Amino acid sequence: MTAVYRDALERVSAIRGVHGAMLVSTEDGLVVADSLMEGVDGRAVAALAASLVGRLRRTTESAGLRPPRLFHLRAEKGSILAVPAANDLLVVAVAQPDANLGLARLEMFAAAERIG
Partner 1 sequence: MRALEPWVAGPLETFLAESAARVVLVMTSAGQVVAQHGFTRSLDVMSAAALGAGIMASTTEVAKIMGTPHFGALVHQGSKQGVFLAGFDTPRGRWIGLVVFGPETSVGLVQLFFDRLARELAAAAPPESERGPVLAENFERELNASLHALFGR
Residues in the chain: 116
Answer yes or no whether residue 56 interacts with partner 1 by CB under 8 A. Answer: no
Answer yes or no whether residue 58 interacts with partner 1 by CB under 8 A. Answer: no
Binder to partner 1 among 16, 51, 67, 116 (CB under 8 A)?
Answer: 51
Q: Decide: 83 and 91 in contact? Cβ < 8 Å.
A: yes
What's the distance, Cα to Cα, between the start and end of the chain in Å?
11
Name the amino acid, one letter, at 90.
L
Span near partner 1 by CB under 8 A; candidates 2-10, 40-48, 70-78, 95-103: 40-48
Task: Please give the Cα distance from 24 to 16 (Å, whole number).
Answer: 22
How would you classify residue 19: left for phi > 0, otherwise alpha for psi between -120 and 50, otherwise beta? alpha
Binder to partner 1 among 6, 10, 17, 25 (CB under 8 A)?
Answer: 25
Answer yes or no whether residue 23 interacts with partner 1 by CB under 8 A. Answer: no
Cα-to-chain-centroid distance, residue 71: 8
Answer yes or no whether residue 50 interacts with partner 1 by CB under 8 A. Answer: yes
Comparing CB distances to partner 1, the nearer of 24 and 82 is: 24
Answer yes or no whether residue 101 interacts with partner 1 by CB under 8 A. Answer: no
Where do contacts with partner 1 occur on this chain (CB under 8 A)? 24-25, 27-30, 43-44, 46-48, 50-51, 54
